[in-house]
Amino acid sequence: MKRVWIKTYIEILDDPKMGRLPDWLWRRAIELFLLAGENGNDGLLQPVMDMAWRLRTSEEKLTESLQALSQVGVVHETPEGWVVTHFKERQSALSNTERVHEFRKRKRNDNETERFKDDVTSSLSYSQSDSGSSEERGDVGEKTKLELDLFVGYFGMFNSESEIKRWLVLFEACGKERSDKLAAWAFKKEIHLTNRGGLLDSLETAAKNWKGSNGKTPEPAVPKGVSVSQKWLEKKQKELKNNGNTH
């Protein structure tokens, strides 16, 4: 069956046989995956002459690529022609058991997010009355850009969609002022430099262990009364102005 799309697995990023390929050969492998999907014959590729024309290369260069990829098991040659190895298995529809497993996995991740949100909200509920209006607490949905800018202003761009989601949950539970102080504390400790992958873990743990105004609290890394998003915006505006003066 011919396809208009194929599955591409994230694990390719950590697959040694793919990761050690030179860039041009890595690209060629992906192109062959696409051609196999278009051909719709369980991974069997079109004749080399036809593929060479489609990929705008010579038959000699394409044959060299196929032979190189066969050495690492990405493709193999059969009497019928070149075949993308394991294409049929990897592109087949999920079984009912696999679908149930994936559904439960997604549900488990959603439940873990909700549990964290409830945990943080509960541990900080004693001070919610001091935070004032919904504007001071940070209203997710109305001020998403502000929330994201606060994180970016300290640590740079997010690494993943999961990291964005976790930060928004933390911001909603803690409010703007507390999230600002938590981020300032992590920035001062240089956690984003020494353990970037564990940054959100550290922020979540700090949020749960927050002692309130009578206990020890992280000190902000910016002057009081200046939000991170404002400082970051002023920096960007200054950079743009300087760039404009150089032309």
Residue-wise DSSP of 174-222? H-HHHHHHHHHHHHHTTHHHH-GGGHHHHHHHHHHT---TTS--PPPSS
Q: Of the ranges 76-80, 86-90, 108-112, 120-124, which is most confident?
A: 76-80
Using a pLDDT cut of 70, give the percent of the chain over it. 64
Reduced to 3 states, what is the DSSP secondary structure of residue 73?
coil
Residue 221 is predicted with a pLDDT of: 39
- pLDDT at residue 131, as a whole number: 43
Average pLDDT over residues 41-48: 92
CB-based contact 33:6 (threshold 8 Å): yes
- In the chain, how long is the greatest CA-to-CA distance? 78
Q: Is 9 strand, coil or helix? A: coil
| Its pTM surpasses 0.85 | no
Question: How far is residue 102's CA from residue 122's CA, in Å, rounded to a whole number?
Answer: 30
Q: Are 204 and 116 in contact (CB under 8 A)?
A: yes
Q: Where in the chain is the domain with CATH 1.10.10?
A: 10-91
Nearest to 174 by CA among 214, 139, 225: 139
> Is the pLDDT reported for residue 198 higher than 80?
yes
CB 123, CB 210: distance < 8 Å: yes
Q: Of 198, 170, 175, 199, whose CA–CA distance to 186 is shortest?
A: 199
Cβ(72)–Cβ(16) below 8 Å: no
- Check residue 5 and give its pLDDT: 82
Confidence of residue 15 (pLDDT cuts 50, 70, 90): confident
Most confident of 2-11, 166-175, 226-235: 166-175
pLDDT band of residue 31 (cuts 50, 70, 90) is very high
Q: How far is CA 105 from CA 24, 90, 98, 118, 132, in A?
A: 36, 19, 10, 20, 38
Mean pLDDT of 3-23: 86
Using the CB atoms, write b or e for 215-227: b if 16+ within 10 Å.
Answer: eeebebbbeeeeb
State the sign of the Cα–Cα–Cα–Cα dihedral 141, 145, 146, 147: positive
When pLDDT is averaged across residues 83-110 and rounded to a whole number, the result is 73
Given a cut of 50, whether residue 39 has pLDDT beyond it is: yes
The mean-pLDDT minimum among 6-20, 62-76, 133-147, 211-225 falls in: 211-225
Q: Where are the beta strands (DSSP E) in 38-150?
A: 75-78, 81-84
Q: What is the dihedral of CA 209, 212, 214, 215, to 10 degrees?
A: 20
CATH architecture of the domain with residue range 10-91:
Orthogonal Bundle (1.10)
Q: Is the per-residue pLDDT at 77 higher than 80?
A: yes
pLDDT of residue 144: 73
pLDDT higher than 80, residue 215: no
